[in-house]
Amino acid sequence: MDLEVRHLRVIRAVADAGSLTRAAAVLGLSQPSLTAQLQRIERMLGGPLFVRHRGGASPTALGELVVAKARELLPQLDSVQQEVLSHLGFSDGRLSLRYVANPGPLMVRLLGPLRSLFPGAEAKLRTEPDVATVLDLVAARQQDLGALVEYEGSARPPRREVEQRVVAIEPAFVLLPEEHPMAGRPMLGLGELAEDVWVLPPSQGSGLHDAFAAACTGAGFTAVVQHEAEAAAARELIVAGAAIGLGQATFRSTPGIVPRPLKGTPLRLRHSLVWHRESALAAHGAALVEHAEKAYADAIGNNPQYPAWLTDHGQQGPAHREPR
């Protein structure tokens, strides 16, 4: 691994903040993610850069050297970036990045990478559950970047003015209450859940309801979807044992809920980025996708079952790969 600009930003952020906790907040990362990044950087450079103590973190002799270089180089690189932004049509060299996202692992995790990729930018997040609305906003150039979460098989006509790049394809997991008789099993067949009552979120253009109905038909039953609720209410219903549900593989562990993979992966979700083809961001498409893939990889550990699923299916990560 080569030393990259983003590594220098991490090092400078830790030095400026004086602690990993505060630096993680500045960078828009979780503390475990920042700690793991810093450890990789330290291994690459051949020694510890910071000494952790009760009051925070202080640079070692090696750390002081690298921090000094980072503080020298980053302003010069930022200046180049601002000149590029000006050349792309942002008159003051400062970009207000309007970012709209469906709820999912990229929604918040992409903010830090956006700041890193565009150091002169102010990233503004808007959450939007409806897929079509995200596309409309990006197509109308009312938002610069969008993050979509859709179920595979959804029939949505392409938008010629919008570029879409897939970041990851992941399996849907079934979400069971702890007391469910099958909660102790490592994997379930969808047909085994034919007698259960389900709660699903509103489809909102994601293709969920059609994909779920087709998967259940393929498993030989018609599901009883008794409740339709947003994420918070759905979690309460599942914890109470009133229903079972579906979740993204990156579903964050929730007390009282047991996520389990489904045999044969009958339901899959697609995470993707979208931007206008004539947008200033179009020139940075490859970098945006790369940062999004790293942000997604950071979310894999949310659900302890997901890394195990990836290992069992012979995959190091889900980006651009279809689950088997």
Which residue type, as a one-letter code, is found at position 66?
A: V
Examine residue 243 and state whether it is found in any structural domain, yes or no.
Answer: yes
Tell me if residue 42 falls in helix, strand or coil.
helix
Considering only the C-alpha atoms of the chain, give the largest distance between any 2 of them, rounded to a whole number of Å. Answer: 66
Neighbours of 86 (CB within 10 A): 15
Examine residue 139 and state whether it is found in any structural domain, yes or no.
Answer: yes
Per-residue pLDDT tens digits for 80-137 = 766 666 655 554 445 678 999 999 999 999 998 888 888 777 889 999 999 999 999 9
pLDDT for 88 equals: 53
In angstroms, the CA 168 to CA 105 distance is 10
pLDDT for 324 equals: 36
- Find the mean pLDDT for residues 156-172: 92
Examine residue 80 and state whether it is found in any structural domain, yes or no.
Answer: no
Number of domains in the chain: 2
Contact call for residues 167 and 272 (beta carbons, < 8 A): yes
Please, what is the average pLDDT of the chain? Answer: 89
Task: Kindly list the distances between the CA atom of residue 258 and the CA atoms of 2, 172, 239, in Å, as whole numbers in the listed order.
Answer: 39, 13, 9
Examine the domain organization and report whether 111 and 35 are in the same domain.
Answer: no
Which tokens is 40 given? 């990789």
pLDDT for 299 equals: 93
Determine what percent of the chain is predicted with pLDDT higher than 70.
Answer: 91
Q: Which long-range contacts (CB under 8 A, 24 or more apart) does 34-39 make?
A: 34/10, 37/7, 37/10, 38/10, 38/11, 38/14
pLDDT for 228 equals: 94
Name the residue range of residue 165's domain.
Answer: 94-323
The DSSP bridge pattern shows strands 224-228 and 197-200 to be parallel
- Find the mean pLDDT for residues 3-17: 91
Examine the domain organization and report whether 119 and 256 are in the same domain.
Answer: yes
Q: How far is CA 99 from the centre of its chain?
A: 13
Examine residue 85 and state whether it is found in any structural domain, yes or no.
Answer: no
Examine the domain organization and report whether 63 and 187 are in the same domain.
Answer: no
pLDDT for 178 equals: 96
Examine the domain organization and report whether 205 and 107 are in the same domain.
Answer: yes
| pLDDT higher than 60, residue 147 | yes
| pLDDT higher than 90, residue 185 | yes
Examine residue 206 and state whether it is found in any structural domain, yes or no.
Answer: yes
Per-residue pLDDT tens digits for 41-94 = 999 999 999 999 988 999 999 999 999 999 999 888 877 766 666 655 554 445
Examine the domain organization and report whether 262 and 212 are in the same domain.
Answer: yes
| pLDDT higher than 80, residue 227 | yes
Examine the domain organization and report whether 13 and 134 are in the same domain.
Answer: no
Per-residue pLDDT tens digits for 242-277 = 999 999 999 888 999 999 999 999 999 999 999 999
Q: How many residues in the chain? A: 324
Which residue type, as a one-letter code, is found at position 321?
A: R
* Region of poorest pLDDT, from 33-37, 44-48, 317-321: 317-321
Examine residue 89 and state whether it is found in any structural domain, yes or no.
Answer: no
pLDDT for 202 equals: 87
- Residue 322 pLDDT grade (very low, low, confident, very high; cuts 50, 70, 90): very low
Q: CATH number of the domain that 9 lies in?
A: 1.10.10.10
- Find the mean pLDDT for residues 313-319: 65
Examine the domain organization and report whether 114 and 181 are in the same domain.
Answer: yes
Q: What is the DSSP string of 154-213?
A: ------TTEEEEEEEEEEEEEEEETT-TTTTSS-B-GGGGTTSEEEE---TTS-HHHHHH
Neighbours of 107 (CB within 10 A): 19
Q: CATH number of the domain that 197 lies in?
A: 3.40.190.290
Examine the domain organization and report whether 67 and 98 are in the same domain.
Answer: no
In angstroms, the CA 54 to CA 52 distance is 7
Examine residue 87 and state whether it is found in any structural domain, yes or no.
Answer: no
Examine the domain organization and report whether 118 and 186 are in the same domain.
Answer: yes
Angle at alpha carbon of residue 269, lines to 267 and 274, rounded to 5°? 155
Examine the domain organization and report whether 121 and 25 are in the same domain.
Answer: no
List Cβ neighbours of 248 (8 Å cut-off, separation of 6 or more): 104, 105, 149, 170, 172, 173, 269
Examine the domain organization and report whether 111 and 187 are in the same domain.
Answer: yes
Name the residue with higher pLDDT: 26 or 57: 57
Sign (positive or negative) of CA dihedral 170, 174, 177, 179: negative
In angstroms, the CA 205 to CA 290 distance is 26
Which tokens is 102 given? 């469906």
Examine residue 233 and state whether it is found in any structural domain, yes or no.
Answer: yes
Strand partners, 268: 171
List Cβ neighbours of 141 (8 Å cut-off, separation of 6 or more): 276, 279
pLDDT for 318 equals: 63
- Write down which residue in 36, 71, 106 finishes a domain: 71
In angstroms, the CA 150 to CA 168 distance is 11
